[in-house]
Amino acid sequence: MPELPEVETTRRGIAPHLVGQRISRVIVRDRRLRWPIPEDLDIVVSGQRVEAVERRAKYLLIKLETGSLISHLGMSGNLRLVPCGSPAGKHEHVDIELESGMALRYTDPRRFGALLWSQAPLEHVLLSKLGPEPLTEAFSGERLYEKSRGRSMAVKPFIMDNAVVVGVGNIYATEALFAAGIDPRREAGSISKARYAKLALEIKRILAHAIERGGTTLRDFIGGDGQPGYFQQELFAYGRGGEFCKVCGSTLRELKLGQRASVYCGRCQR
């Protein structure tokens, strides 16, 4: 599933081609995404100017004059620019055509994503209760410590909770816990303030670095410019169960936490 760095990479790739452009029409080939695409989307947005392309958690917000398109890439989706009229493949469900002659094409083989419309996107039910962005001052080790008090759940699903902090998905939670030396099985409420301070710093560092590296290429993901991400080449733990630890040389262990695969080093992470 595309995570925060992949979504931010997409935002950066498509924004220069969208901002300032007017939408000439919207072609919807299949409305059956996770939530159906609105029937009147073409009527509502055609003729409107794109004012900004923003991101909230893993949602892209294409801000128009009277509201915003809310897009989620689901498990396998992507947004990229193509010339208007380009032949569409089986899973290329939507084209947002621009007066420039280019179209923003939404592709989603599994159809778990979304393309919705809202006049007040931050008040939308999907966004209104989200926690702080991890790369802002609103997120800190102090917040993790306070939110974790009395919590018996494992620390990995705790930091993946969007009410605690947004955008820390499986890949980056695994990598941040490794970098901070914290066992993903530890009870969230048992971790000290000092260790949460270290974990928050590693979350920020790893997410920022992954964005600069264009995200992580995992099966279906490509950025908005059609290029793959390169962070996968630098992974220390995620997807490396049974391989050697790059720090101590011991064998990395793998287990399930919250229905997600978790890889960790029994020697480096306590």
Q: Could you give the residue numbers annotated as active site?
A: 2-3, 58, 260
CA gap 75, 34 in Å, rounded: 11
Give the position of tokens 């997600």. 260
Q: Coil, helix or strand for 18? A: helix
The verdict on whether residue 49 carries a ligand-binding annotation is: no
Structure token digits, residue 259:
């229905």
CA gap 17, 33 in Å, rounded: 25
CA gap 248, 261 in Å, rounded: 22
Q: Which of 204, 182, 195, 181 is nearest to 144 (CA)?
A: 195
The verdict on whether residue 151 carries a ligand-binding annotation is: yes
Q: Coil, helix or strand for 128? A: coil
CA gap 149, 113 in Å, rounded: 34
The verdict on whether residue 205 carries a ligand-binding annotation is: no
Dihedral sign for Cα 98, 100, 103, 104, please.
Answer: negative
Residue numbering of the annotated binding site: 91, 110, 151
Residue numbering of the annotated binding site for DNA: 91, 110, 151
